């Protein structure tokens, strides 16, 4: 039997460009690895250059070395990898006995019987400055977040899917603090009284900025893994390029906020310095009764036949207004204009009139001027990561149709255009084109004082940046209610429908009754290059929340495998019943996978906040949804479930 041979495919211009691009890519990677071994802190001056005169590249030039300590630290951060841990000071006696040799006479009297220090001329001070305990009593330790089970927990499950497309990330990032400044007298004495550890400062001299993220891939895990490995680097890089300064540094003309401004969003009463410790802050929370909260709780109902009705997810609560940041205005406006112009040239379509909410460029004459803020930095980082990923896929061959690479993504695309490298310096994706994408939500927490954000006396600023249908929830200590910080970016969302209908004549409805846009359930996502020009955007929805001492009990980040099965209040109530955040994340994922009918990937991340110790006391506690959760379990265990 003879096998008919297909006619050989002709070598196209695209094949030549792909061959050259792969060769240059391999040479660049080998050169970068040699450079890192020789000079670990060497700074890259420019992005990849063009391959040919007919194929111009978008070159991102890094400013030359300047005597700017912050800028140098940012550039060095791109080479060190991600800090999946946090650094803290712990009392030495809480770890191991002091093994240092003792010099001179000593006594074994209790501390209460020791004579007080008397200041004399020439004598050394008895204590370190009031904001920093003695070095002899503290030890600096590095604690991986995944090992801090009483403060952090994350659980993933692939459900009934053959593989898991979800990913997550947690740690600290190198960027200046953005927290609101508070009077030092409100937060200085609490740590020394409680005996707990204090958070160490970052490389910028500010308290560490914590970063948490959950990413839900679709069509594969390539895009979600890219965000897991690179998105934090894009945020650091954007902060460096904007020359973002710390909000805790006193600038010319800056006015310190008063104590009333700090407590404006807190349910706590004013406390003086004498009782400003963690116990007093927890006791000061005014708990609401079950009758007061019952009407406010958003809990799905059951009909007469015992079926649970379809619940609609609540929209995100209104956040604080953006606070103008100390940045280089000229560089910020130039970077905003460059990224918008690149979207217009590379993708076109929807992006020809693209005007991000937190950007100053592209606004109409009647619109109010948008200040440059941390929200502008996050928007730029998200858009840059998305553009780099999409442009990297556009130049790769399509495994399903080898000839499709000869046609551009649209009429404005230049074939073979090289993409920018991510902050890590490695390539993006594999050798073939990836057509899927990913949704994602990240949470950044910054504190104005050395007190860690999970201490009951600590105030902090929480900023959430969100794309797609992953979800972030806060549990309010006084009421026990779930406070959603994100809204699902679905075509059924009125705001999303209004944004997209300028470019799409209609939406389609699938067999489950859900509206879809270009075959996608999410109208905002990273990747999804085939639907990019029709309006699928990675512009994040950003919410700023000022968290007072013990005002909130914990923070939850979940993928749609959890939020699509359980309501917000059910998720929060499950965590309330757990002893640690780690147990809470496991319980949420276990319940979601047990009662789910779709078997989607499920991820849950729980972060402890100041009101954790009183998480079950406010409002209905965890009993508000207990009957509903028990009913879900009984329905899931019913053998007739599949035949209904």
Cβ pair 590, 635 in contact under 8 A = no
Distance in angstroms (rounded) separating the CA atoms of residues 279 and 272: 14
pLDDT of 643: 44
pLDDT of 94: 45
3-state secondary structure of 64: coil
Name which of 445, 431, 541 is nearest 488 in CA terms. 541
Cβ pair 626, 299 in contact under 8 A = no
Number of structural domains found in the chain: 1
CATH number at residue 235: 3.60.40.10
Cβ pair 383, 339 in contact under 8 A = yes
pLDDT of 192: 46
pLDDT of 317: 87
Cβ pair 534, 349 in contact under 8 A = yes
pLDDT of 167: 95
pLDDT of 257: 43
3-state secondary structure of 428: coil
Cβ pair 472, 304 in contact under 8 A = no
Tokens representing residue 541 in the block = 């929805």
pTM of the model: 0.75
Rg (CA), the chain: 27
Domain-embedded: residue 618: yes
3-state secondary structure of 421: coil
Q: How many CB atoms lie within 10 A of CB 260?
A: 8
User: DSSP class of residue 537?
Assistant: B
pLDDT of 309: 67
Domain-embedded: residue 127: no
Domain-embedded: residue 439: yes
Domain-embedded: residue 227: yes
Domain extent, residue 636, equals 85-93+132-258+294-489+524-643
The contacts of residue 261 (CB under 8 Å, 6+ apart) are: none
**Contacts of 196-199 spanning 24+ positions with Cβ under 8 A:** 196/278, 196/455, 197/88, 197/89, 197/90, 197/91, 197/141, 197/452, 198/88, 198/89, 198/133, 198/138, 198/450, 198/451, 198/452, 199/86, 199/87, 199/88, 199/89, 199/447, 199/450, 199/451, 199/452
Domain-embedded: residue 124: no
Tokens representing residue 179 in the block = 């927290």
Domain-embedded: residue 496: no
Burial class (CB in 10 A: 0-12, 13-18, 19+), 62: middle
Domain-embedded: residue 113: no
Match 């008397």 to its residue by tokens: 118
pLDDT of 582: 95
pLDDT of 451: 81
Distance in angstroms (rounded) separating the CA atoms of residues 384 and 238: 9
Domain-embedded: residue 152: yes
pLDDT of 425: 76
10-residue mean pLDDT profile of the chain (644 residues): values are: 58 69 67 48 37 36 40 42 75 48 47 49 41 52 84 92 92 92 54 49 74 94 93 95 87 44 37 52 86 86 72 82 91 93 88 88 66 94 94 81 52 44 79 89 92 89 95 95 92 77 60 61 87 88 94 96 92 95 96 88 95 92 90 83 51
């Amino acid at each position: 039997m003879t096998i008919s041979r297909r006619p050989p495919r002709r070598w196209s211009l695209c094949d030549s460009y792909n061959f050259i691009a792969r060769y240059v890519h391999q040479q660049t990677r080998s050169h970068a690895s040699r450079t890192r071994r020789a000079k670990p802190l060497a700074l890259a001056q420019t992005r990849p250059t063009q391959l040919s005169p007919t194929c111009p590249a978008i070159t991102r030039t890094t400013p030359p070395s300047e005597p700017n300590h912050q800028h140098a630290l940012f550039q060095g951060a791109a080479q060190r990898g991600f800090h999946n841990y946090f650094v803290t000071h712990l009392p030495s006696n809480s770890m191991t006995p002091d093994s240092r040799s003792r010099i001179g006479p000593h006594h074994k009297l209790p501390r209460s019987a020791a004579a007080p220090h008397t200041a004399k001329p020439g004598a050394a001070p008895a204590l370190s400055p009031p904001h920093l305990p003695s070095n002899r009593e503290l030890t600096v330790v590095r604690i991986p977040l995944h090992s801090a089970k009483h403060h952090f927990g994350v659980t993933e499950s692939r459900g009934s899917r053959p593989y898991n497309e979800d990913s997550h990330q947690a740690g600290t990032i190198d960027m200046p603090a953005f927290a609101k400044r508070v009077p030092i007298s409100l937060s200085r004495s609490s740590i020394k009284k409680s005996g707990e550890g204090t958070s160490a400062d970052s490389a910028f001299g500010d308290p560490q900025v914590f970063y948490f993220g959950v990413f839900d891939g679709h069509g594969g895990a390539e895009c979600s893994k890219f965000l897991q490995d690179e998105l934090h680097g894009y945020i650091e890089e954007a902060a460096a390029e904007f020359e973002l300064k710390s909000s805790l540094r006193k600038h010319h003309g800056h006015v310190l906020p008063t104590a009333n401004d700090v407590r404006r969003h807190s349910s706590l009463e004013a406390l003086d310095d004498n009782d400003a410790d963690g116990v007093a802050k927890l006791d000061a929370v005014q708990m609401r009764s079950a009758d007061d909260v019952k009407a406010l709780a958003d809990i799905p109902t059951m009909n007469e036949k015992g079926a649970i009705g379809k619940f609609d997810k609540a929209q995100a609560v209104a956040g604080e207004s953006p606070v103008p940041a100390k940045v280089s205005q000229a560089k910020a406006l130039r970077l905003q204009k460059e990224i918008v112009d690149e979207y217009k040239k590379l993708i076109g379509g929807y992006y020809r009139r693209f005007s991000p909410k937190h950007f100053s460029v592209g606004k109409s004459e009647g619109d109010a001027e948008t200040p440059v803020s941390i929200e502008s930095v996050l928007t730029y980082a998200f858009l840059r990561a998305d553009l780099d990923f999409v442009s990297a896929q556009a130049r790769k061959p399509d495994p399903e149709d080898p000839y499709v690479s000869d046609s551009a993504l649209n009429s404005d695309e230049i074939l073979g255009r090289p993409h920018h490298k991510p902050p890590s310096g490695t390539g993006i994706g594999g050798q073939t084109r990836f057509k899927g994408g990913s949704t994602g939500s990240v949470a950044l927490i910054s504190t104005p004082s050395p007190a860690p954000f999970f201490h009951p006396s600590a105030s902090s600023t929480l900023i959430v940046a969100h794309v797609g249908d992953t979800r972030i929830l806060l549990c309010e200590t006084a009421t026990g209610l779930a406070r959603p910080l994100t809204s699902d970016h679905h075509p059924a969302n009125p705001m999303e429908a209004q944004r997209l209908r300028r470019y799409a004549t209609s939406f389609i409805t699938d067999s489950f009754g859900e509206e879809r846009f270009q075959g996608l359930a999410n109208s905002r996502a990273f990747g999804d290059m085939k639907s990019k020009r029709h309006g699928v955007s990675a512009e994040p929805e950003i919410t700023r929340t000022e968290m007072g001492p013990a005002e909130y009990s914990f923070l939850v980040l979940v993928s749609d495998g959890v939020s699509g099965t359980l309501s917000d209040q059910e998720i929060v109530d499950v965590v309330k019943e757990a002893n640690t955040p780690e147990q809470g994340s496991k319980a949420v994922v276990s319940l979601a996978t047990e009662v789910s009918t779709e078997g989607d990937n499920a991820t849950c991340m729980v972060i402890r906040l100041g009101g954790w110790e009183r998480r079950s006391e406010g409002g209905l506690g965890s009993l508000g949804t207990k009957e509903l959760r028990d009913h879900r379990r009984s329905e899931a265990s019913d053998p007739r479930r599949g035949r209904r």
